[in-house]
């Protein structure tokens, strides 16, 4: 055992000489929910200020061409944690709150990469990758397998989304604060128990739905899915971010002496948007703006904690988002009326759910003060690359059947190289591929526009080709003009799909 550790350390030192003088860096991935490319001031937002994120960007490296793998949550999270594109595996679309665990426990994960080299690991915040075996989770018993079976020593999570039941926190293998005399029942097909629903009792709602969200009412908010029981375990929407942030702070503090990896997946800025009273009304942009401030605050809290423990210099922070922005995602929260000229996707077209870059190009900031020089990078990179990149940094060799969609981009992440990823796949209703600023979107029959979220979805029965270097907004379809480019990109996409299979 000792010899293995020593050989790993020696290997690491030879790879990154910086390890020879200092301890291995802590790594924190801060993963926002639905935060758009244009939602933070260091990416050009002028109507809202995100001072903590800006500070992180100022001292670190800000990426302008980084992508989530998908335009929705579950598949992006699947990919960032496994190094495999979710579109290869059926059932990895937006998961219901009672889905079974979607990641095979035998699979390599980002957490395992760190755990195997002696890091202490934690997942805190939004999970949305299913829990439990085939039949789904047993909310009243041991909830397993889950993050802990995937390499996280500690997990403190909300099972799915803020708008999906059960609205409880799962602390390691159990629902926190569950009273055994008040068991939880969850159903996604039919009503369970006698708690009122938004559909039957709209008069009980404090936040009205604009689309769906009319199943069980919890804390005055209609949710997706039916639930009853577990009253003492139900979270308070307005203080949830504060609570999760405190957990993250205490994990850092507890592990200040040893290297740690924390996946901090904030539930902000997803709907329902319920800002803490510290932020309510503060953005002037309504609750969507207020929860951006709340997210920025939580980032600041983690930075402060690191500072107070003297850990800032040797901690890598990667901050990003799981998909692009959406304004009206199903609740009447005045997000649209109060936007006031703010552009959540910045210069990009589309947003969450979209095949255009607004769906997947997201903020991506890397800070490691003792190693990474401040600046910006326009390198093409995907979140799916984190697994192999950190494996590379820790000198762990992966087999060819592990994390096969991930590329080792650690040099780019640390600002030591500007070589683009050779190609990058984006996943919405259909797939798209980018090679050197040319983007191709496969023809597909899905709707071009979603009226409920007012999103340009980027679907088209015809092939689409855009030159992102001069047309970042994907206005001009050049497919007819450049058939050779279409051929090159579509063939590459077909090859990538066929290499390891696909269901899309």
Under the rule (CB under 5 A), what is the footprint of Ca ion?
33-34, 73, 322-323
* Cα dist from 173 to 77, 121, 140, 221, whole Å: 20, 15, 10, 27
At closest approach, how far in Å is the CB of 164 from ligand NG6?
7
Binding residue for ligand NG6, selected from 26, 72, 216, 406, defined by CB under 6 A: 72
* Cα dist from 87 to 70, 80, 121, 236, whole Å: 9, 13, 27, 34
Q: Residues binding ligand NG6: what is the number (CB under 6 A)?
A: 17
Which stretch in 10-18, 207-215, 443-451, 475-483 sits in contact with ligand NG6 by CB under 6 A? 207-215
What DSSP designation does 353 have? T
For ligand NG6, which is the closer residue by CB, 211 or 301? 211
- Residues within window 352-381 making contact with ligand NG6, judged by CB under 6 A: none
Rounded Cα distance, 298 and 303, in Å: 9
From the list ligand NG6, Ca ion, none, which binds 216 (C-beta under 5 to 8 Å, kind-based)? Answer: none
For ligand NG6, which is the closer residue by CB, 249 or 329? 329
CB-CB contact of 96 with 188 (8 Å): yes
Which stretch in 173-181, 206-214, 234-242, 412-420 sits in contact with ligand NG6 by CB under 6 A? 206-214
At closest approach, how far in Å is the CB of 2 from Ca ion?
43
Instruction: State the helix-helix crossing angle for 2-15 and 386-393, rounded to 10 degrees.
Output: 100
81 is a contact residue toward ligand NG6 (CB under 6 A): no
At closest approach, how far in Å is the CB of 157 from ligand NG6?
14
For Ca ion, which is the closer residue by CB, 355 or 496? 355
At closest approach, how far in Å is the CB of 369 from Ca ion?
29
* Backbone dihedral region for residue 463 (phi beyond 0: left; psi -120 to 50: alpha; all else: beta): beta
From the list Ca ion, ligand NG6, none, which binds 442 (C-beta under 5 to 8 Å, kind-based)? Answer: none
For ligand NG6, which is the closer residue by CB, 38 or 330? 330
Residue with tokens 């490296």: 61
Instruction: State the helix-helix crossing angle for 51-59 and 286-308, rounded to 10 degrees.
Output: 50
296 is a contact residue toward ligand NG6 (CB under 6 A): no
Which stretch in 39-47, 168-176, 211-219, 293-301 sits in contact with ligand NG6 by CB under 6 A? 211-219
Which stretch in 97-105, 304-312, 322-330, 388-396 sits in contact with ligand NG6 by CB under 6 A? 322-330
Residue among 154, 336, 334, 349 nearest 252 (CA)? 154
- Residues within window 114-153 making contact with ligand NG6, judged by CB under 6 A: 128
Binding residue for ligand NG6, selected from 161, 321, 455, 464, defined by CB under 6 A: 161
181 CB-contact burial (10 Å; exposed 0-12 / middle 13-18 / buried 19+)? exposed
At closest approach, how far in Å is the CB of 324 from Ca ion?
9
Residues 6+ apart with CB under 8 A from 132: 100, 101, 138, 143, 144, 145, 146
Residues 6+ apart with CB under 8 A from 330: 163, 209, 210, 211, 212, 213, 271, 452, 453
From the list Ca ion, ligand NG6, none, which binds 39 (C-beta under 5 to 8 Å, kind-based)? Answer: none
Q: Are strands 26-32 and 260-265 parallel, antiparallel or unpaired?
A: parallel
CB-CB contact of 401 with 118 (8 Å): no
* Cα dist from 297 to 160, 270, 275, 313, 475, whole Å: 23, 16, 11, 20, 36
Binding residue for ligand NG6, selected from 89, 144, 213, 439, defined by CB under 6 A: 213
332 is a contact residue toward ligand NG6 (CB under 6 A): no
Q: Which residue is nearest to Ca ion (CB)?
A: 73
At closest approach, how far in Å is the CB of 224 from ligand NG6?
5
Rounded Cα distance, 334 and 328, in Å: 8
163 is a contact residue toward ligand NG6 (CB under 6 A): yes
Which stretches of the chain bind ligand NG6, using CB under 6 A? 33-34, 72-73, 94, 128, 161, 163, 211-213, 224, 270-271, 323, 329-330
């Amino acid at each position: 055992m000792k010899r293995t550790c020593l050989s790993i350390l020696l290997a690491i030192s030879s790879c990154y000489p910086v390890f020879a003088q200092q301890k291995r860096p802590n790594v924190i991935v801060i993963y926002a929910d639905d935060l758009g490319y244009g939602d933070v001031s260091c990416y050009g937002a002028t109507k809202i200020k995100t001072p903590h994120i800006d500070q992180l960007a100022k001292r670190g490296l800000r990426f302008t061409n980084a992508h989530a793998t998908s335009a929705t949550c579950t598949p992006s999270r699947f990919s960032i944690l496994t190094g495999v594109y979710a579109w290869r595996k059926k059932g990895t679309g937006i998961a219901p709150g009672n889905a079974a665990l979607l990641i095979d426990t035998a699979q390599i994960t980002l957490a395992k990469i760190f755990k195997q080299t002696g890091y202490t690991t934690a997942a805190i915040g939004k999970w949305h990758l299913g829990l439990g075996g085939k039949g789904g989770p047993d909310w009243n018993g041991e909830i397993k397998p889950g993050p802990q079976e995937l390499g996280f020593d500690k997990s403190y999570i909300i099972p799915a989304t803020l708008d999906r039941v059960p609205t409880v926190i799962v602390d390691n293998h159990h629902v926190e604060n569950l009273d055994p005399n008040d068991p939880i029942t969850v159903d996604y097909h039919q009503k369970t128990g006698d708690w009122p629903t938004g559909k039957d009792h709209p008069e009980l709602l404090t936040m009205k739905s604009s689309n769906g969200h009319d199943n069980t009412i919890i804390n005055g908010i209609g949710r997706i899915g039916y639930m009853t029981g577990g009253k003492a375990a139900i979270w308070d929407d307005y203080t949830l971010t504060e609570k999760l942030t405190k957990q993250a702070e205490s994990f850092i503090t507890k592990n200040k002496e040893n290297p740690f990896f924390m996946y901090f997946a904030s539930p902000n800025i997803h709907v329902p948007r319920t800002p803490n009273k510290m932020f309510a009304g503060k953005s002037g942009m309504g609750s969507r703006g207020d929860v951006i401030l709340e997210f920025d605050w939580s980032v600041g809290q983690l930075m402060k904690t690191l500072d107070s423990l003297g850990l800032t210099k040797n901690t890598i922070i990667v901050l990003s988002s799981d998909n692009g922005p959406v304004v009206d995602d199903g609740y009447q929260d005045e997000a649209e009326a109060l936007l006031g000229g703010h552009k959540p996707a910045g210069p990009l077209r589309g947003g969450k759910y979209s095949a255009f870059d607004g769906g997947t190009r997201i903020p991506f900031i890397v800070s490691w003060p003792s190693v990474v020089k401040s600046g910006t990078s326009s390198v093409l990179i995907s979140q799916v690359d984190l697994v192999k990149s950190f494996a590379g940094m820790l000198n762990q060799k992966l087999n060819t059947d592990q994390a096969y969609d991930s590329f080792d981009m650690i040099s780019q992440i640390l600002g030591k190289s500007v070589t683009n990823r050779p190609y990058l796949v984006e996943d919405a209703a259909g797939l798209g591929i980018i090679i050197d600023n040319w983007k191709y979107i496969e023809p597909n029959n899905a709707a071009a526009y979603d009226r409920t979220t007012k999103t340009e979805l980027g679907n088209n029965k015809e092939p689409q080709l855009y030159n992102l270097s001069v047309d970042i907004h994907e206005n001009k379809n050049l497919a007819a003009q450049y058939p050779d480019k279409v051929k090159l990109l579509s063939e590459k996409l077909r090859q990538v799909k066929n290499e390891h299979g696909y269901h899309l």
